[in-house]
Structure 1
Amino acid sequence: MSGGVDSSVSAMLLAKEDYDLSAVYMRNWDTRDESGTDKGCEWEKDWEDVQRVCKKLDIPCELIDLSREYWNRVFEPSLRQWEQGVSPNPDVWCNKEIKFGALLDSLPLKRRENAWFATGHYASKSWSESPNPRPKLLRPVDRNKDQTYFLSAISESGLRKALFPLERLTKPEVRELAKQHEFSTAERPDSVGICFVGEKTRFNQFLSSYIPPNPGPIVNKLTGKVIGEHSGLWNFTIGQNARIPGMPERMFVASKDTSTNTIYLVPGSTHESLFSRVLHVPEFAWIWRDSPPRAIEQPEGSRLSLMHRYRMDHVPCTVSKENNVLAIRCDHQQHAITPGQVAALWDGDWCLGSGVISETS
């Protein structure tokens, strides 16, 4: 339970069924760890809300501190990627490494072996019809809140134990249920931004406390002229409006050159340099690791659909394997595909897995 409305309602729905329930709250990050002050104890507020809801539902709850595991397995690797100029997605790795990794590993063996693991994600699950049924990660009823993208990196063993009580509910229905049960979380707003940063406006300021400045040129890609200086590649994202003073029109980030520490801009948000059609994923992790679509080994490839960022429409694509690298060819040009981000693939509503984008063309 996170202290939010989604996990509160998930717990309530399960409490109405014949489960032996207990709740767990993960402490992954404490602002005091970075600031050295008592300012910003967000996790304590979340933990208080979890305890209030659990008391109302009459189920036990506990706090497990996974901040060290989060630092080592999610934050530190992400920090190194930002420093190198790519844009990672820590929330995807939090689900893989922490929620469905370190958290389950932290439970006593007997409890871990016999437990289901429920979350407040908007996702669904079914089982294959083979003699040995295998779990399938599916899109939920509420397509607007579909969070299978964030779950696309979890293992089959983690998915096997997962329950998604909200799979048939929409967000408005969840909030209405929370109000009916008078949960303190009913009106709580959805979290935004990266979990340990919060609002996006704080992002550059946050990273600057961990990564020393590394100034380099900002270049007009069309003219080759230096038009500014940046303090670090991590301060700009592909497709971002760079806001360069004195320019006659808005300039957007087209690419980064890590070897020369250079950021290249182009005029306008529709310039051809901002679009690409093919992306490459060197280490794609299928949820069914031993059963990727057979057609990816064939010249014609496999017809699937892609998301390369959260909250985007699924993109029809052809997927094939080239020199052990997954090549994903979109039917239509895509705007601002960003190396370091996660590319997830679906067969209809079935999420097959994901991997990190290394380059585009």
Structure 2
Amino acid sequence: MSGGVDSSVAAFLLAQQDYDLSAVFMRNWDTGDESGTDKGCEWEKDWEDVQRVCKKLDLPCQMIDLSQEYWNRVFEPSLKQWESGVTPNTDVWCNREIKFGALLERLPAPTTSNKKPWIATGHYARKSWSTTPNSPHTRPRPKLLRPSDRGKDQTYYLSSISEEGLSRALFPIGHLQKSEVRELARKHQLHTAERPDSVGICFVGEKAKFSNFLSSYIPPNPGPVVDQVSGKTLMQHAGLWTFTLGENARIPGMKERMFVSSKDQLSNTIYVVPGSDHEDLYSNTLRVSDFTWIWNDAIPPDLSTPQGFRVDLMHRYRMHSVPSTVRKAETGDLIVTADEPEKAVTPGQIAALYDGDWCLGCGVIKSTSR
């Protein structure tokens, strides 16, 4: 439970059923490491909300401190990527490494049996069980599916979890609309009913502060910001991590707004183009590395053929999936070609592939081209 309305309602729905149920709150960030105190930290308010909901539902709850695991398995590797100029997706890695990784490792086994515990979350996702002709398995296997509320679809954030983690997962609100979740919370007087959805990375807060946050961990590395069209240097940046592809560069004195089109790590240069719809902001071919199929022994056979395998692509959260073709390169990377050019496809982000509603897995965007 996070302290939000989604996990509160997930807990309520499970509490109405015959489960041996308890709640866990993850503490993933140690603010005391930065300021020497946890006073005023957002996680304290979240933990208080979790305890209030659990008291109303008569559920035992505990806090598990995973801040060290988060630092080692998510944050520190991401720092190196930010410093190099790419943009990692910490929410995706947190789900794989922490929520469906370190947390599952730390959960106590149920007292009533020798079986492993299940974990339920407030994610907007669904799961079904199925078999496939391409798999040697005869027992049903878990499939990660899009939720009923497409506007809140969080399968993108879950696309890197293992089959083992998915097999032990429950998504109690996946069949509901967000409006229905809030209405259930109001009806049953859960005090988180009107709590706003969280924005930005949990331990940083709002996105506007993110560059300043990173600058406290990454030393300055100034370089030029160059107009890709004219070749003129327009200003200096403090580090490649201070700009994201596709964003307004906010360069003073320009007649037209300039948008980040690319970064060159070797020359430490950020390139910008005029206008938010410039052709250099678009690409339709992605090279994807370290792709992990949730069913890793049932890889589509057409992947190695000239015609490739038809999929739907998501390269960021809350986008309409894009019809695409995926092929396997000789290097082992996947080459994903979208039917239409996409704006601001960002190296370091996640490319998740779907067969209709079924999320097949994901990999890291290594480079893009037209």
CA deviations on 1:35-54 (whole Å, 9 max, x unpaired) are 22344321111111111111
Per the TM alignment, residue 229 of structure 1 is displaced from its structure 2 partner at its CA by: 0.3
User: Which residue of the partner structure matches residue 72 of structure 1?
Assistant: 72
Q: Is the 8 A contact 2:309 2:325 kept in 1?
A: yes
Number of equivalences: 361
User: What does residue range 126-145 of structure 1 map to in structure 2 within 5 Å?
Assistant: 126-129=128-131, 131-145=138-152
**2:345 aligned to which of 337, 341, 351:** 337
Runs of 4+ in 1 over 6 A off after TM superposition: none
Q: Is the 8 A contact 2:107 2:117 kept in 1?
A: no
User: Does structure 1 residue 264 correspond to structure 2 residue 264?
Assistant: no
User: Does structure 1 residue 116 correspond to structure 2 residue 115?
Assistant: no
Aligned-partner Cα distance in 2 for 1:39–1:51:
18
* Structure-2 change in CA distance of 1:7 and 1:228 (3 Å): same
CA deviations on 1:82-114 (whole Å, 9 max, x unpaired) are 001000100000000000000000123566843
User: Which residue of the partner structure matches residue 58 of structure 2?
Assistant: 58
- When normalised by structure 2's length, the TM-score is 0.95
**1:148 aligned to which of 142, 150, 155:** 155
With 309-318 and 110-119 compared, the bigger mean Cα shift is at: 110-119
Aligned-partner Cα distance in 1 for 2:253–2:50:
51
2:362 counterpart letter in structure 1: S
Per the TM alignment, residue 167 of structure 1 is displaced from its structure 2 partner at its CA by: 1.2
SS in 2 for 1:144: helix
With 345-354 and 173-182 compared, the bigger mean Cα shift is at: 173-182
User: Does structure 1 residue 163 correspond to structure 2 residue 166?
Assistant: no
Q: Is the 8 A contact 1:9 1:174 kept in 2?
A: yes
User: Which residue of the partner structure matches residue 99 of structure 1?
Assistant: 99
Aligned-partner Cα distance in 1 for 2:278–2:40:
42
User: What does residue range 319-334 of structure 1 map to in structure 2 within 5 Å?
Assistant: 319-323=326-330, 324-334=332-342
* Structure-2 change in CA distance of 1:173 and 1:97 (3 Å): same
Q: Is the 8 A contact 1:15 1:57 kept in 2?
A: yes
**1:310 aligned to which of 305, 313, 317:** 317
Aligned-partner Cα distance in 1 for 2:252–2:29:
37
User: Which residue of the partner structure matches residue 195 of structure 2?
Assistant: 188
Aligned-partner Cα distance in 2 for 1:166–1:106:
25
User: Which residue of the partner structure matches residue 81 of structure 1?
Assistant: 81
Per the TM alignment, residue 275 of structure 1 is displaced from its structure 2 partner at its CA by: 0.6
Per the TM alignment, residue 65 of structure 1 is displaced from its structure 2 partner at its CA by: 0.4
SS in 1 for 2:152: coil
SS in 2 for 1:283: strand
CA deviations on 1:324-349 (whole Å, 9 max, x unpaired) are 11000000010010000000000000
With 79-88 and 39-48 compared, the bigger mean Cα shift is at: 39-48
Gaps of 5+ in 1: none
1:11 counterpart letter in structure 2: A
**1:276 aligned to which of 273, 283, 303:** 283
User: Does structure 1 residue 9 correspond to structure 2 residue 36?
Assistant: no
Q: Is the 8 A contact 1:255 1:263 kept in 2?
A: yes
2:246 counterpart letter in structure 1: G
Aligned-partner Cα distance in 2 for 1:8–1:266:
45
User: Does structure 1 residue 239 correspond to structure 2 residue 241?
Assistant: no
1:264 counterpart letter in structure 2: Y
**1:208 aligned to which of 215, 233, 239:** 215
- When normalised by structure 1's length, the TM-score is 0.98
Pairwise CA RMSD: 1.2
With 330-339 and 193-202 compared, the bigger mean Cα shift is at: 193-202
Q: Is the 8 A contact 1:32 1:40 kept in 2?
A: no
Aligned-partner Cα distance in 2 for 1:207–1:91:
16
CA deviations on 1:181-230 (whole Å, 9 max, x unpaired) are 11121111000011221101111111111111100011111121111100
1:68 counterpart letter in structure 2: Q
Gaps of 5+ in 2: 133-137
* Structure-2 change in CA distance of 1:38 and 1:132 (3 Å): closer
User: Which residue of the partner structure matches residue 36 of structure 2?
Assistant: 36
User: Which residue of the partner structure matches residue 135 of structure 2?
Assistant: none
CA deviations on 1:137-185 (whole Å, 9 max, x unpaired) are 0001011111000000000000000000001111111111111111121
